[in-house]
Structure formats: structure tokens, C-alpha cells
A and B are shown apart, each in its own frame.
Chain A
Amino acid sequence: MKRVRVIPTLLIERGRLVKTVRFGKRTYVGDPVNTVRIFSDKEVDELMLLDISVAKAGSEPDFDLLREIASECFIPFGYGGGIRTLEQARRAFDSGVEKVVLNTALHRSPTLAGKIARMYGNQAVVASIDVKKGLFGGPKVMTECGSRRVPGEVTEIARNAVDAGAGEILLTAIDRDGTFEGYDMDLIRRVTSAVDVPVIASGGARGVPDFLAAIKEGGASAVAAGAQFVFKGPHRAVLVNYPSQAVLREGLFDHLGPEDIVA
């Protein structure tokens, strides 16, 4: 048996929690502080909070909201969205965040990951890489919440992020986001074989069997999911949920052995 992180990813838009489909259509999910409290009570290993409104607007992260969230969050959490400077990262850490998540800044300020890593350690820097399937020429890396294409191949961008100082990679398949179609296994394999830091698989997970596949077959070190943990049933009714430890043990942890590189 081996434990692996099963991480809910929560999206903040102008102070509210939403869930997207393929980074587009949004469904209102609830109040962030309240929802985080529920996940914390459910003994989740770790949370990722991504503010999808500040990145595009170019505004400051909502540090007051982060502090409020931290006051109810008794588990480690990462924050991404609008972090462009070391000072903003420092304020995020001071607000109670364990890790900062960089996406657009990886390309706009290539030295930022390193600056943060030197002060807080590379375990505190997550590179978020959003990938869209191209009709030709393989997957495309996108920034600014999937709206802007950046040149370069995904494995090269992942390696550069690690060289720059990122301690792990949050790898999201945009085409699978919110679809319940399963992870993009090719993409996961491609990136996990190119870098030696933990890769967190994200985008499309339906349930525990998908988590197991991402680790066993994809080589991921941790798994993330969004829609699965906030919707229930065929009509996608909003209901915060998380598998019990017994379900995770039986469906996931018990199947992992020394050969699986988890973190």
C-alpha cells in the first residue's frame, strides 16, 4: 500500500467558486470559504485553488480572500492566479498558502519560479501547464486560462519550468476539463517521461479507477479533479463530495507498490 495525493481543484471567479467545461462554460458551485471548510472536514490531502478571473484581468490576487480561506483550511493548499512577482508570491505565503501555482508567469517572467524557489524552496512552486489538443502537430500549451498559445513543445516547456525552479507540475488537459471523459493518458505519459519532478494529472477524471490509471499507466505522482468533487449524478447537481479513506484505500492505495513513484 502507498498513499497518493488526491487533490480537489477549485476555481475562483470574482470571489465565487465555479466549475468550467473545457475552460469555457461555468457553473456556480458555491462560496469558496464554505466549500474549502467542507473539503478540510473531509480530510482531503491537499487543495488547489486557482483564481481564473485575476489572470486575464491582470489584477492582484485577492489576498483577503486567501487569508479568509486559510483560516478555515486545516490542510495544505496551493494558490494560483495573477502571481507575477516575488512580492505577490510572498504575500500569498504570508496569507497561509503552502504553494504558489504559476502558469502565465512561467512564460512572461521566466525567472520568477527560480526567485520564489530560492526563498521558499522548489517544493513550494507548482508549474501549471494547460494543454489543448491540436489537429496537427501535437498538443499546444496555452496560457491565460487557455486563451493564448505559447510556442514550444509541452515536454520542453515542462523541462524548462523544472529547470527554472518548479518542484512539481500540474498538468491539465483543457479538452477533458469538466467532461468526465477520463484523463488524457498520452499527455500524462509524455510529460512524466520527460521530467523527474512529481506530475499531478488533471482534467477529465471520473472516479477512483481513473486516478489509478493516471499513476499506474501514466506515471503521474498525484491526481487532481474538479467536476468530480463538486457535481453528483447525471444532471451535475452541485454537491461537494470526496471519496472516503476506505474507498481510496481499496480502489487506489492498495494497488500501489514500490514500483509506483508517488509523492
Chain B
Amino acid sequence: MTTGAITIVDYGCGNPASIRNMLKKLGIKATITSEAEDILTSERIVFPGVGAFDHGAESIREKGISEALEQRVIRDGVPILGICVGMQLLGRRSDEGKLPGLGWIDGDVLAFDRSRLGPTDRVPHMGWAMLDVKQPQTALHGFHEEPRFYFVHSFHMTCDDPADVAATAHHGYDFCAAVASRNILGVQFHPEKSHRFGMTLLRNFAEGKTGAE
């Protein structure tokens, strides 16, 4: 197994430094970049994001990195980990905005269905939730106890093919908390704020197969 350097894409949405902090703690080399040429030579990509879907979609285009991402992730098969809105942008579209996502995952981003929430389930969903892992062959394995992660979101993905759902969590109902397809992994929660569980996930991601293997 190789532990490769990680390229954290900074497109002006979210706090890439917090992800780098955790990788630094793990002794994993990481660089933060918004340059297409850095993305084109990356071995593993972390794609973070907070805020509004359209703001993220627009920023990717404004920074001129969508081509580089497409090349590296889709054609070269480099592993990518989308986090929060970075995960949502992997889908086709979102209830939150009008702009299209990257469309790499056959799924859409929906608002929490308030009619299915209990009287005490709030939106945004903010806090820790247990994870029901469906695809342990992804980076979602090796946790020291039943995994729980920290979430902050009002929208969640839904996949056309249930086989793409890598994990679910419960907030009023079971929602898609992680997606996985080919070299693409997306997580709705924040590994960088989920102490030991997040560290396990990021270490697994850093040690996983690269596109070249």
C-alpha cells in the first residue's frame, strides 16, 4: 500500500485548511490548490465544500478547473473524495440551486423531506449521527467502534442506483450519507471534524488504490 500525497481543491467554498490540519496530524502530505495544472498532476483529490450549491458550481467554472477535474477523475481514474457540498456537487443537480453539478454520480440532491421528519428533527441537520456502512470496501472501514460522524446540512443526495449508496445515516429517515462509484467517494458529513472516525477515513483514503494501480 502506498500513502500518496493529497491534493485539496480550493475553489473558494469551504475551509480546506481544516482538512489539511487533520492530514498533517496523520503525517500525510497535502497541498491546497486552485490551479488546474496542480489538479492535472494530482494522485488523490479531496474536494471539500460548504455553502450554497450554485455558489460551488459557479466557483468551479470561474476557477476554470472543471476540465482538469474531468480529465483527472473521469479519464485518468484518480481517486476523489467529495466532502459535504463537495459531495453534492458530484451529483447532477440540487433542490438548492439551478446550476448543474458535475454529474459524475447518477443522483440528485434533495432538500430534507420535512413531511418525513419527526417533530424534533430540525433542518439543518447539525450534529453527530451513526453511520450505517453499505460499502466497507471503500474508505469507510476499520473504525475503532461503530462509526459516527459530524453533519451540518439541509440537503442530501439520492442515488438512482441503490448500489451507489456507500452509507446511510438517520435523521427522521435514513438518508444517503455517502456515495461511492468507481474511483469516486463522496461523504455528506465532515471527517475533518469527526476526530478518530474522520482520521480513519482519511488514512484509508490516502492509503487506498490510486488510479494508476
| Chain B residues positioned under 8 Å from A74 (CB to CB) | 21-22, 25, 192-195, 198-199
Beyond A70-B18, A94-B15, A263-B120, 8 extra complex contacts between A and B, CB < 8 Å: A40-B195, A43-B195, A70-B21, A71-B21, A76-B193, A98-B152, A123-B122, A263-B122
Q: Is A109 interfacial (CB-CB < 8 Å)?
A: no
Contact of A261 among B22, B120, B126, B128 (CB under 8 A): B120
Contact of B148 among A3, A40, A72, A98 (CB under 8 A): A3
> What's the minimum C-beta distance from A164 to chain B, rounded to whole angstroms?
17
Q: Establish whether residues A121 and B21, one from each chain, have CB atoms under 8 Å apart when the complex forms.
A: no
Q: Give residues of chain A (1-38) contacting chain B, Cβ–Cβ below 8 Å.
A: 3, 5
Query: What is the size category of the interface that chain A forms with chain B?
Result: 20 to 34
Q: Is B97 interfacial (CB-CB < 8 Å)?
A: no
Q: Establish whether residues B194 and A5, one from each chain, have CB atoms under 8 Å apart when the complex forms.
A: no
- CB nearest neighbor in A for B120: A261
CA A44 – CA B193 in complex, angstroms? Answer: 11
Q: Is A175 interfacial (CB-CB < 8 Å)?
A: no
| Chain A residues positioned under 8 Å from B127 (CB to CB) | 5, 263
Q: Establish whether residues B195 and A75, one from each chain, have CB atoms under 8 Å apart when the complex forms.
A: yes
Q: Give residues of chain B (156-213) contacting chain A, Cβ–Cβ below 8 Å.
A: 190, 192-196, 198-199
Query: What is the size category of the interface that chain B forms with chain A?
Result: 20 to 34
Q: Establish whether residues B193 and A98, one from each chain, have CB atoms under 8 Å apart when the complex forms.
A: yes
Q: Is A45 interfacial (CB-CB < 8 Å)?
A: yes
Q: Is B111 interfacial (CB-CB < 8 Å)?
A: no
14 example contacts (A-B, Cβ-Cβ < 8 A) are as follows A3-B128, A5-B127, A5-B128, A43-B196, A71-B17, A74-B22, A74-B199, A75-B150, A75-B193, A98-B193, A121-B124, A121-B152, A121-B154, A123-B126
Q: Is A165 interfacial (CB-CB < 8 Å)?
A: no
Q: Give residues of chain B (10-49) contacting chain A, Cβ–Cβ below 8 Å.
A: 15, 17-18, 21-22, 25
- CB nearest neighbor in B for A119: B51
> What's the minimum C-beta distance from A219 to chain B, rounded to whole angstroms?
11
Q: Establish whether residues B145 and A123, one from each chain, have CB atoms under 8 Å apart when the complex forms.
A: no
Q: Give residues of chain B (97-129) contacting chain A, Cβ–Cβ below 8 Å.
A: 120, 122, 124, 126-128
Identify which of B148, B152, B198 gathers the most chain A CB atoms within 10 Å of its CB. B152
CA A164 – CA B136 in complex, angstroms? Answer: 44
CA A41 – CA B25 in complex, angstroms? Answer: 11
**Given A98-B193, A261-B120, does the pair A76, B17 have CB atoms closer than 8 Å?**
no
**Given A74-B25, A123-B126, does the pair A96, B18 have CB atoms closer than 8 Å?**
yes
| Chain A residues positioned under 8 Å from B128 (CB to CB) | 3, 5, 45
- CB nearest neighbor in A for B15: A96
| Chain A residues positioned under 8 Å from B193 (CB to CB) | 74-76, 98
